[in-house]
Amino acid sequence: MENSFLIKTQDLVKTYPMGHTKIFALNGVNLNFRPGEFAGLVGPSGSGKTTFLNIVGSLDSPTSGSAVVMGKKIEDLSHKQAAWLRNQNIGFIFQTFNLLPVYTVYENVEFTLLLLKMSAEERKDKVMQALEWVKLADRAKSKPAQLSGGQSQRVAVARAIVKEPSIILADEPTANLDAENSFNILDTMEELNRELGTTFIFATHDEKVIKYLRRKITLVDGKVAKDEALEQKKVKGGNQ
Amino acid sequence: MIIPRLALKNLLGAGLRTWLNVVVLSLSFVLIIFLQSLYKGMGDQAKEAKIDIEFAGGQYWHESYDPFDPLTLEDAHGVVPDPIQEKIDKGEATPILVTQATIYPEGRLRTILLKGIYPQQSIVNLPSKFLVQEGEDIPALIGARMAKSAGLKMGDMVTVRWRDAKGTFDARDVQIARVMKTSVGTVDQGQIWIPLEKMRGLMSMENESSLVVVAKNTEDIPTVSGWDFKSLEFLLADIEYLVRTKTTGGSIMYIFLLLLAMLAIFNTQVLSIFRRRKEMGTMMALGFTRSKIIQLFTLEGAMHSVLAAIVAAIYGIPFLVWFSKTGWALPEGTDDFGFGLGEKLFPVYSVGLVVGTIVLVLLVTTIVSFLPTRKIAKLKPTDALRGKMS
Ligand SMILES: Nc1ncnc2c1ncn2[C@@H]1O[C@H](COP(=O)(O)OP(=O)(O)O)[C@@H](O)[C@H]1O
Ligand SMILES: [Mg+2]
C-alpha cells in the first residue's frame, strides 16, 4: 500500500558543512506517515527534528535520499512548486508563533488564503470558522502585540488549519507556553486531528506534548532510534 | 490585488518612519511642481510681454537685418515690397526703421539704436502716440531702463548723431516726450524711438524700413524676396532657451530634496529587509514565493510615493492654488533674469507637469525600493525563518 502514505522518506540525508568536515543533521532517515496521524519526533536538541520537518515541509531539500510528500518529490521541486505545495497542503506552527505584527488576528489567519483563488465571503467564512476552532473569534480585530503567548499560538494554529491542509508541521509548539496553555493548544490540535483528519507531525522534547502523541519517533544524531505506537496516556483537559 | 493591499498595510504599520519619508517626498513633489510652474509662468509672461510690445504676429526682416549684430544695421534697410506694403496700408502691419546712432548724455558718448515707428500704429502695444510731433522739436520715446542709465527724464533734450544713407554725419536734438515702463528690455535698453517719417527724412531713406511687424494672428504671410519672415517661434526661441536654462538651474534644489527622500527610502528598505527576515521566512512557509516577497517589499517602498502624492495634494493643492491667485511679487529692480518680467509672477500649472512629476517620482522610488530587495532572491526559507541572511 505504497500509495496510502502521505509522506515517505528514503535514506534521507542532510549535511551541513562545518569547517573541513560536515555535520549530518539527518543521516539516512526512512519514515512513512499515513493520513490522520498524530505523530512526534522527539530527541535531544540537535538530533535533526527541525531539519526533518523543514524538508518534509518543502522549506529545505535533502542532500541525498528522497522525500515524497503527497506524491511530490521534494528534491525535484522548483522554488515555486515548493511554495505551491506549502500553500496548498502544509500548515506550519512555530515555536515563536511567527505572527505578522502589522496585521490583525483576522488578517494573519486570512493571509495564507490570499494566495488561493477564493471569494472574499468564502475567505471570511473560513477565517471565522478557524478562529472559532481556537476560540478566538472575539479577538479577530486585535493585533499580535495585544495577545498573550497562548493566544498567539492559537492564532498560529488557526492560520495553519484555515486552509484545511493535509499536513500540519509543528516545531516545538509549546516551548514558549506555560502548562495550561500547552494543554489547551494540544487539546485543540487533537480535536482538529480527529474532526478534520489532518495529519500532525510534531518536533518536540516536551513531555506534555509526548503524552498526546499516538506515535513517537525518537531521533538520535540524525537517525531514527525508535519508532513506537503509544497508548493514549493523556487526560482530556490536561489538568491532571 | 493582494500584494498592494498587504504592502499598504505594512507601510502604514511601520508608522512614524513611513510618515517621515512620505513628508520629505511630498515636499519634493510640491517643490518640483511649484518651481517648474513658476518658471513656466515666467516664460509665458515674458513671451506674452514680448508679443504684446515687440513681436505681435511676427516680423519681416530686411535680409541684412540682424538685431544681434549692430554693425550690419547700416545696410539693413530697404523699401518695403508691395505685398508687405499692402498689409501696412490696410493696418495689418507696421514698419520700423533701425539705425545706429550716438548720444552724449552728461557729456559722455553712448552708442544707441535709433528706431523709427509710426506714431499712429496699433500693431504693437508701444505708446507710440506720444511721438505725434506738435512743435519744432522731434519727440522721442524711451524706456525706463534707458532713462535711468542715460540720466534722462521727460522733457529733456538730447543730441542724437548718426550717419545718413550717403554716409555723412548729421545730428539733431530730440526731446524726451515720454518715458515708458515696460518689462521688455529689447524695446528699452540703449534705444530711442522717434517718428518714422521724420527719421526717414533725416536719414534720406524715403519709404525704407528695417523690419515690419505684422498684426497678431495674421495667417496670410506672403513670401517676398529680400525680406525674411520671422515667426513667433523663431523670435521667442531665446526666451524658450533661457527658461529651459533657468528650469534646469532651479532643479538642483528639488533634485537634492528628492535625493534625500530616496536615500531615506533606500535606508528604510535595507533596514526593513534586514529586520523582517523572519517575517519573510513565515511568508515563505505560508506559500509565498521569493518573487512575491520581492514584489511586496518593492511595492511597499514604491508606495511611499503614492502616499507622498496624497499628502502633497492635501497641503500642496491649497498652497499652489493660493499662489496662482496671489502671484509672487518680484523684488524691486529684479532685472537679472535674462528676460523682462512684470512686477508679479504667476505660476502656470499644466496637467503634463503634474502627471510627469508623479510618474517620475514613482519610477525613481520604485527603482530605489527594488534595489535592496535583490538580497531576497537568494534567501533560503530555512535561513529566513532562523532570522539569518546570507
Ligand atoms: N542551517 C544550518 N547550518 C548549519 N548547521 C545546521 C543548520 N541547521 C541545523 N544545523 C545543525 O544540524 C543539526 C540538527 O539540527 P536541528 O534539525 O535543528 O535539530 P533539532 O531541531 O533536533 O534541535 C544540529 O547539529 C544543527 O547545529
Ligand atoms: Mg529544532
Q: What is the amino acid identity at position B93? A: A
CB count, 10 Å around CB of B281? 26
pLDDT at B338 over 60: no
pLDDT at B333 over 80: no
| Over residues A6-13, mean pLDDT | 96
Residue with cell 504693437: B124
| Over residues B274-298, mean pLDDT | 92
Chain A interface, best mutation among B1, B6, B279, B286, by max A CB count within 10 A: B286
- Region of B37 please: left (phi>0), alpha (psi -120 to 50) or beta: alpha
Confidence of residue B286 (pLDDT cuts 50, 70, 90): very high
CATH dotted code for A36-47+80-238: 3.40.50.300
pLDDT at A165 over 90: yes
Confidence of residue A238 (pLDDT cuts 50, 70, 90): very low
User: Exposed e or buried b for every residue in B291-309, given b needs 16+ CB within 10 A?
Assistant: ebbbbbbbbbbbbbbbbbb
Q: Which run of H or of E encompasses A82?
A: helix A79-89
Q: pLDDT tens for residues B258-276?
A: 888 889 889 888 988 888 8
* A59 to B2: CB separation less than 8 angstroms, yes or no: no
More confident: B370 or B257: B370
pLDDT at B67 over 60: yes
Enter the ipTM: 0.92
Residue nearest to ligand 1 atom 18, measured at CA? A50
Least CB–CB distance from B286: residue in A80, A102, A111: A111
Q: How far is CA B228 from the centre of its chain?
A: 26
Cα dist. B114→A67, B139, B141, B144, B159 in Å?
98, 13, 10, 16, 12
Residue A231's pLDDT is 77
How does strand A215-220 pair with strand A199-204? unpaired
pLDDT at B123 over 50: yes
Residue B79's pLDDT is 93
Closest by Cα among B105, B189, B175, B92 to B133: B175
- How much distance in Å is there from the Cα of A17 to the middle of ligand 1? 11
pLDDT at A233 over 60: no
Q: Report d(CA A216, CA B76) in Å as an integer.
A: 109
pLDDT at B340 over 60: no
Average pLDDT, chain B: 88
CB B29 within 8 A of CB B312: yes
Residue ranges of the domains in chain A?
36-47+80-238
pLDDT at A237 over 70: no
Q: Which three three-digit cell numbers place residue B153?
A: 527724464
Residue B147's pLDDT is 92
State the smallest CA–CA distance between residue A159 and chain B in angstroms.
Answer: 9
Q: pLDDT tens for residues B177-231?
A: 999 988 888 899 999 999 999 999 988 888 999 999 999 988 888 899 999 999 9
Q: How far is CA A196 from the centre of its chain?
A: 15
Backbone angles phi, psi at A77, to 5 degrees: -75, 140
Residue with cell 492559537: A154
For residue A206, what are the β-bridge partners?
none
Residue B11's pLDDT is 85
- Collapsing DSSP to helix, strand or coil, B338 comes out as coil
| Over residues B130-138, mean pLDDT | 86
State the smallest CA–CA distance between residue A87 and chain B in angstroms.
Answer: 4
Cα dist. A155→A9, A112, A190, B200 in Å?
30, 13, 16, 98
Strands (E), B215-346: 227-230, 328-329, 344-345
Average pLDDT, chain A: 92
Among chain A, residues having any CB pair with chain B shorter than 8 Å are: 54, 57, 59-60, 79-80, 83-84, 86-88, 92, 94, 96, 98, 100-103, 107, 111-112, 114-115, 159
Residue A232's pLDDT is 67
pLDDT at B343 over 80: no
Least CB–CB distance from A79: residue in B9, B283, B289: B289
- Collapsing DSSP to helix, strand or coil, B137 comes out as coil
Cα dist. A23→A11, A66, A218 in Å?
16, 19, 19
What are the pocket residues of ligand 1 if the criterion is a CB atom closer than 6 Å to any ligand atom?
A: A 16, 23, 25, 43, 45-51, 203
- Percentage of residues in chain B with pLDDT exceeding 90? 46
